[in-house]
Homo-oligomer: A and B are copies of this chain.
């Protein structure tokens, strides 16, 4: 191949990547919420607004507003002044999220980063990992101490 003839992707192809990122981010908050609600239910029997706000590091009112959107989206159910429950669809999303999150976090550990860094970086990375990349991470884990 002649000098400086590396093929560059078309604008169309490039935009596909950014569209994927924007789609990932649209789904991200819902994914983190349902995963956290599932954790709270498993760890302490119920998921409360305050606990979610604490763990996310946001104000209570922010959680309330987001929960309304999740309810509209059919992921949770709630009654005034009561704890929060996941719908069947919510549980499914939570478990898919947990599975993916766990693989990404273990993968980072196996790559050699600290527990702390794996925990923190995986919280963002998990939402941008395609099925193909997740499989590659899984294989790496199987080869190395998974």
Q: Which residues of A contact B (CB under 8 A)?
A: 8-9, 11, 14-21, 24-25, 32, 43, 51, 54-58, 108, 111-114, 117, 119-121, 123-125, 127-130, 132-133, 136-137, 139-140
The CA of A130 and the CA of B58, in the complex, are separated in Å by 22
* Pairwise interchain contact B24-A124, C-beta atoms closer than 8 A: yes
Residues of B within 8 A of A132 (CB): 113-114, 117
The CA of A141 and the CA of B79, in the complex, are separated in Å by 52
Residues of B within 8 A of A43 (CB): 8
Q: Of B24, B25, B111, B137, which one neighbours A133 at CB under 8 angstroms?
A: B111
The CA of A24 and the CA of B19, in the complex, are separated in Å by 18
* Pairwise interchain contact B117-A133, C-beta atoms closer than 8 A: yes
Rounded to whole Å, the gap between the CB of A141 and the closest CB of chain B is 11
Q: Of B11, B17, B113, B127, which one neighbours A120 at CB under 8 angstroms?
A: B17
Which of A19, A25, A57: most chain B Cβ within 10 A? A57
Residues of B within 8 A of A117 (CB): 130, 132-133
